[in-house]
C-alpha cells in the first residue's frame, strides 16, 4: 500500500505558498495619492524685462553675453540660457544710445527645433 501522506504534504505546502502570495500582493498595494495641482511657475525672464534695455541693463539682467559683435550700426549679443540661445540686437535710439530692439530665440544645438521666444525667456 502506498503512503498517502506525501501528496497531502505537497498539497498543504502548495496551499501555504499560494496563500502567502495572495497576502503579499494585497499588502503591497499602496493607496493611490491624489495628484496635487502644481503652482504656476513664475517665468525667469519676460520680454518686458529686456525690451529697449541698454547694454549695461542687459548685463545686469542676463549676465555677460557669450558673444558680442558690431553689425553695421547695431550690436549683436548672444546669451546662452537653459533651453535656448537668446539673440538680442541693439540699435541706436533717437538720442544715439544703444537699445535692445530685436530679439530671437534659437536652438542650443544644430538640428534642434527653433524655440519660442517667450518659452525661452521663461525657462531662463
Residue 107 lies inside a defined structural domain of this protein: yes
**CA–CA distance, 10 with 15 (Å, rounded to integer):** 9
Instruction: Give, as one character, the DSSP assignment of residue 53.
Output: -
Residue 57 lies inside a defined structural domain of this protein: yes
Q: How confident is the model at residue 42 (pLDDT cuts 50, 70, 90)?
A: confident
Q: How confident is the model at residue 2 (pLDDT cuts 50, 70, 90)?
A: low
Residue 11 lies inside a defined structural domain of this protein: no
Q: How confident is the model at residue 41 (pLDDT cuts 50, 70, 90)?
A: confident
Provide the mean pLDDT of the chain.
82
Residue 24 has pLDDT above 50, yes or no: no
Burial pattern 32-64, b for ≥16 Cβ within 10 A else e, equals eeeeeeeeeeeeebeeeebeebebeebeeebee
Quickly list DSSP for 58-113: HHHHH-S-SEEEEETTEEEEEEE-SSSEEEEEEEE-TTS-EEEEEEEEE-SSTTSP
Residue 14 lies inside a defined structural domain of this protein: no
CATH of the domain at 61: 3.30.160
Tell me which residue range forms the domain holding 86: 47-123
Q: What domain count does the chain have?
A: 1
What average pLDDT does this structure show over 30-50? 77
> How confident is the model over 45-66, as pLDDT tens digits?
999 999 999 999 999 999 999 9
> How confident is the model over 78-114, as pLDDT tens digits?
999 999 999 999 999 999 999 999 999 999 999 999 9
Closest CA to 88 of 46, 45, 58, 43: 58
Residue 20 C-alpha cell reads as 502567502
Amino acid at each position: 500500500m502506498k503512503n498517502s501522506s506525501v501528496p497531502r504534504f505537497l498539497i498543504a505546502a502548495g496551499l501555504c505558498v499560494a496563500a502567502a502570495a495572495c497576502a503579499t500582493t494585497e499588502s503591497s498595494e499602496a493607496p493611490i495619492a491624489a495628484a496635487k495641482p502644481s503652482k504656476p511657475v513664475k517665468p525667469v525672464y519676460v520680454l518686458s524685462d529686456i525690451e529697449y534695455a541698454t547694454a549695461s541693463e542687459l548685463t545686469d539682467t542676463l549676465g555677460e553675453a557669450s558673444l558680442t559683435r558690431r553689425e553695421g550700426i547695431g550690436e549683436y549679443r548672444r546669451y546662452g540660457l537653459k533651453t535656448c540661445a537668446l539673440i538680442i540686437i541693439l540699435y541706436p535710439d533717437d538720442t544715439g544710445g544703444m537699445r535692445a530692439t530685436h530679439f530671437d530665440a534659437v536652438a542650443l544645438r544644430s538640428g534642434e527645433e527653433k524655440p519660442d521666444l517667450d518659452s525661452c525667456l521663461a525657462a531662463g
